[in-house]
Every structure is written in structure tokens, then in C-alpha cells.
Amino acid sequence: MDQVDDLFIAGQVSSQDIIRTAYVDCRAENAVDTLVSDLGVADLSLVILFLSPNTDLETFLVEAKQQFAPAKVVGCTTAGEIGPDGYTEDKVIAIGLPSSHFAATTMLIEDLHDLQPQAMIADMIRNRNKLATQNPNWSSEFAMLLVDGLSTREDALTSELSVGLGPVPLFGGSAGDGASFGTTRIIQDGRLYENAAVLVQFRSDCPIKVFKTDHLTPTDRRMVVTGANPDKRLVHEINAEPAAREYARILGKDPEQLSTFTFAAHPVVVRIGEQTHVRAIQRVAENGDLVFFSAIDEGVVLNLAESENMISHLQRELSALEDPVAPDMILGCDCVLRRVEAAQRQFTTGISELLSRHKVVGFSTYGEQVNSMHVNQTLTGVAIYPPPED
């Protein structure tokens, strides 16, 4: 039985808005002033920013660092934002966590191609102990990871971080660059980083649930990766045939017509233990290779997956997070391919209404993280509930 169930049984869950959110057009004049006014920053311990890649990042962050101080500021660029009305674009989303309910430490990982596992683990343990010592009466712990979505290093990073997490649940998202796949940025305290990540460790008096959900069911249509470059997430051959051509053949489609819409509508999954995880395809390389969003290797068996209705599935999953009580807010990392599929199937309005109704705020990603796994085509996040009354 988890914290939320315990509080429900005790009948002590209060009803109040704990977490503050604000949003503004990414090109608006005085954008930071608007966010500061809407959030009220004097008592915030942390501000999380999800920024459209069309934001004038340098100018915005200089002002943000000054005006949000003394709160820490972290964030990333997006492949779309999730605001009060659901899916949106060309916005800056700001989430403010008050110090009366949240304490946080941040750890910048500056070079994803030169990870220092022992140092990272030592810092994580030190930060966790510091948060516990400073907030002994708060029992909720979780961690958030924001990582360069074009680094191809999310799998290695989450695997290393899991050692230092212990029982603390982690969720996260890979930074995006709209539909361009050019440059993604990580933000910490007014500075922009590439090939980097920031880990935020939290302690709170608010009960939480970290979750992952997708609407995909594996079929018996299988294919085997027979040629790959794991370091670059490239698949050269499927079933001993050129990868894109064979994938198209299995779908009954023209290989010249493969697109992001195709990959969103016809994902492939891999079985790991008792669970299945999407291995989402990003694009077709010029030579006919398939470029993946996550780890792939020779010998991997992939199954085509079928989609359940996105709207009915999301309604069921978000409603489950309200049992036994409704969250104050859900901080969500939603794969860009879900947004693409929603648009293709004309579900965008219905999905947005559900996200808004259930207080989901966040961004569209180039991949998601949950505990020790880097995953794709999921909605991953943390539901944060009102704390027990004194």
C-alpha cells in the first residue's frame, strides 16, 4: 500500500492548490515578467521551465535567472508543450514548487559521453542525505531527469543513475527541438547545455506516484534486427534485408513514403522480462537505415504493436491516478510520437481536454525515462497529491 492510499484511509487529505503553473507565448515581450507575476516567486524552492525551441533562449534565461532568484531554475527545450489547455506550441511553461512543501537539489551532468558513475552516485547519495537531514518530517522522495534528446546516451545514463537512486522513483524526459531534430538544450540556473543532463532530487510532504503508461499492444508480427550500430541507434538490416525496405514490406507500404506519421502509427516493441517497451523509430537515414530513439542491437526481436484508442486509454489511466484522491497536479513527459499519432487520428482535441481536466502540465519529448529505463511513445510522469493536514 503506498503513501496515497495510507492518507486516504486516514481521511487526512486536504484540498488545495499546492503547485503553481504559468505560461506565456515564447515570443512575447516581457515574458519573464508575466511568469513571475503569475507564479509569485518569493517562496519558491525550484522553477521548472519547458521552452519552445523558438524562444530567444539566451535573452530569456538571463532575465529568468535574475527574476526567479533565489529559486533554482532547471528546464529544457521541447517538441511541444502541455499547458492548462492541453497540447500547445510556441509557449514557455513554468512550474513553481514552493519551499513550504518541496526541497530540491540539482546535479548537472555536463558530458554524457564521459560519464563518471562513481562520482554521480556519491553526489546522489550525499544530496539525498542532505534533503533528509534538513526535512526529517517529510517522507516523499522522487527524482526528475532532463536530458539532451539527441545525445543517444539516455539508456547508459539511466542505467548508471539507477544504482544511486536506491528505492527513490525517477521519471524524466528527453529534451526536444520541435520537428527539426537539430539541437536540444538543457537548462540549469540561467545557462544552456548540450550533450548534458540535469538530475533533480526532491523531498516533500506531498504524497506522489511516479507512473508510465502507453496504449500499445504487441502483435505476433515479428522481425529480427540482423544488422545494427548500437552506438548510433542505427538499424542497417531487418530479417537480413535493408531495414527501411523490410519494415515497409511488413507494413505493406511504399518504402519511399515512410514518415514520422508511419512510425507513430506502426510502432515496434521489445520484450524485456515480463514487460514490453517501445523502440520508437525516429526517421529513415539517407542510405535506408532506420534511426531509433532508444537502444537497439543486433539479435533483438521486434514485434509490431497495435494502438488502443488513445482517448479512452488515457481517460482510464488518468482516472486511475485519482484513486483514492485526485492529484494537485501531474507533471508529465509525453513522447512526441503520441502527439503525432493524436494529430493523425484527429484525437488532439480529445487528448488536450483530458490533459487539461486532469491537471497534466509538462512537455512533449524525444524519449522518456522511468526508474532505470529509457523508453519511447509513453506518457511518463509524477502525480503529486495534497499533503495530509496537520
What is the pLDDT, as a whole number, of residue 366? 96
* Nearest C-alpha neighbor of 85 from the set 277, 296, 353, 312: 353
Going by pLDDT thresholds of 50, 70 and 90, the confidence category of residue 11 is: very low
What is the pLDDT, as a whole number, of residue 183? 96
pLDDT in tens, 253-304: 999 999 988 999 899 999 877 778 888 899 999 999 999 998 899 999 999 9
What is the pLDDT, as a whole number, of residue 390? 58
* Nearest C-alpha neighbor of 212 from the set 161, 158, 277, 149: 277
What is the pLDDT, as a whole number, of residue 4? 52
Going by pLDDT thresholds of 50, 70 and 90, the confidence category of residue 81 is: very high
What is the pLDDT, as a whole number, of residue 389? 76
Q: How far apart are the first and last CA of the chain?
A: 21
pLDDT in tens, 168-221: 999 999 999 999 999 999 999 889 999 999 999 999 999 999 999 999 989 999
pLDDT in tens, 297-310: 999 999 999 999 99
Give the whole-angstrom CA distance, residue 15 versus residue 102: 17
**How high does pLDDT run on average in the chain?**
92
Average pLDDT, stretch 236-244? 97
Average pLDDT, stretch 240-255? 95
What is the pLDDT, as a whole number, of residue 271? 83
CA distances from 171 to 63, 174, 373 (A): 28, 11, 9
Side-chain-side CA neighbours of residue 267 (13 Å): 30
Cell match 510522469: residue?
381
SS3 195: coil
Average pLDDT, stretch 91-115? 96
What is the pLDDT, as a whole number, of residue 273? 73
pLDDT in tens, 38-61: 998 889 999 999 999 999 999 999
Residue 173 pairs in a beta bridge with 146, 368
Secondary-structure percent of the chain, ordered helix, strand, coil, rounded to 5: 30, 40, 35
* Nearest C-alpha neighbor of 58 from the set 155, 191, 150: 191
CB contact at 8 A, 18 and 331: no
CB contact at 8 A, 364 and 81: yes
Give the whole-angstrom CA distance, residue 169 versus residue 167: 6
Cell match 539511466: residue?
158
15 pLDDT more than 60 = no
What is the pLDDT, as a whole number, of residue 274? 74
Which amino acid appears at position 296 of this protein?
I
Full-prediction pTM beyond 0.75?
yes
pLDDT in tens, 111-157: 999 999 999 999 999 999 999 999 999 999 999 999 999 999 999 99
Give the whole-angstrom CA distance, residue 40 versus residue 360: 20
Whole-number percent of the chain with pLDDT over 70: 95
CB contact at 8 A, 371 and 165: yes
CB contact at 8 A, 354 and 86: yes
